[in-house]
Amino acid sequence: MAGILDLPLMREAVTSCHYFWEAGWGECHAGNMSYLLSDADIAEVEPFFMAQPVRVPFGYDTAGLVGKSFLITRTGGQFRTIVERAERDMGIIRVNEGSYDILWGYDNGVGRPTSELPAHLLCHASRLGSNPGNRLVMHTHPTYLNAMTTIADLDEKSFTETLWSLNSECILVFPDGIGVLPWMVCGEGEIGPLTAKKMERYRIVVWPYHGIFSSGDSFDEAIGLIETVDKNAHVYVAVNGKPKHCINEGQLKDLAAHFGLSAAF
């Protein structure tokens, strides 16, 4: 009997996440993905739901998404091995008021969705307000984009126009431009709401010295945006040389404090 992972949607989700590792953008635990399931998608996956959902309290803003279901990657998952471990590293949740239910995955509800879940939900709400077809939100660490953020002016108008100027295709692929946040501590906190605010206008949001969020109607669109940005960031880095700015010592100490790390300075 065919399993849930044989469904075309699930196969595409797994191979798309693995592609991030193949591209060099999904090292270690980096990268996460969420997909808002349509009614037709739910009809396909529902036969594979656990008999008893696992209810998890959730104290963050559910962004008007109560009743919606998402396919979303796991916290601590690895895109390198996701093909062999998809039932551990992916799951399906339904959002409630003050909680969510795990319906499938994460090793039968033992694991949990990405720690960026609040950011993902807020980004989905933003994109649904701008383009209801944009069901996908992806985050990863494109190498050349991160290098470009150490050199380029991080003003988003300048950043967008610099990329547009490097290849005739860029303005065709992202005519809506690119949102750029200042560096800030990642994870739960202000970075989620601020990313979602940018996503009201942009399908791409850059986190300097860290990575990118992208959204689209399909895996092809969301990944194509990242590929186009990273390809042209590669060109930019090839002709512009050395870093001019990066994470400073004070910001590193903020990170260590936020995650309770014993890094020696």
Residues annotated catalytic, as ranges = 116
Pair of tokens at residue 187: 């994870």
Q: Residue 186 Cβ, how far from Zn ion at the closest point, in Å?
A: 6
Q: Give the nearer residue to Zn ion in terms of CB position, either 28 or 257.
A: 28
Q: Residue 30 Cβ, how far from Zn ion at the closest point, in Å?
A: 5
Q: Residue 5 Cβ, how far from Zn ion at the closest point, in Å?
A: 25
Q: Give the nearer residue to Zn ion in terms of CB position, either 109 or 211.
A: 211
Q: Residue 207 Cβ, how far from Zn ion at the closest point, in Å?
A: 7
Among 211, 219, 222, 230, binds Zn ion (CB under 5 A): 211
Binding segment toward Zn ion, per CB under 5 A, in 83-91, 105-113, 203-211, 221-229: 203-211
CA dihedral 127, 204, 72, 113 (to 10 degrees): -110
How many residues touch Zn ion under the rule CB under 5 A: the total is 1
Binding segment toward Zn ion, per CB under 5 A, in 54-62, 161-169, 204-212, 236-244: 204-212
Binding segment toward Zn ion, per CB under 5 A, in 51-59, 128-136, 208-216, 240-248: 208-216
Q: Which residue is nearest to Zn ion (CB)?
A: 211
Q: Which of 63, 23, 105, 6 minimizes the C-alpha distance to 196?
A: 63
Site for Zn ion in 129-158 (CB under 5 A): none
Q: Give the nearer residue to Zn ion in terms of CB position, either 172 or 261.
A: 261
In whole angstroms, what is the distance from residue 248 CA to residue 146 CA? 15
Q: What are phi and psi of 148, to 5 degrees?
A: -60, -35
Half-sphere exposure of 210 (CA within 13 A, CB side): 21
Q: Give the nearer residue to Zn ion in terms of CB position, either 36 or 212.
A: 212
Q: Interface residues with Zn ion (CB under 5 A)? A: 211
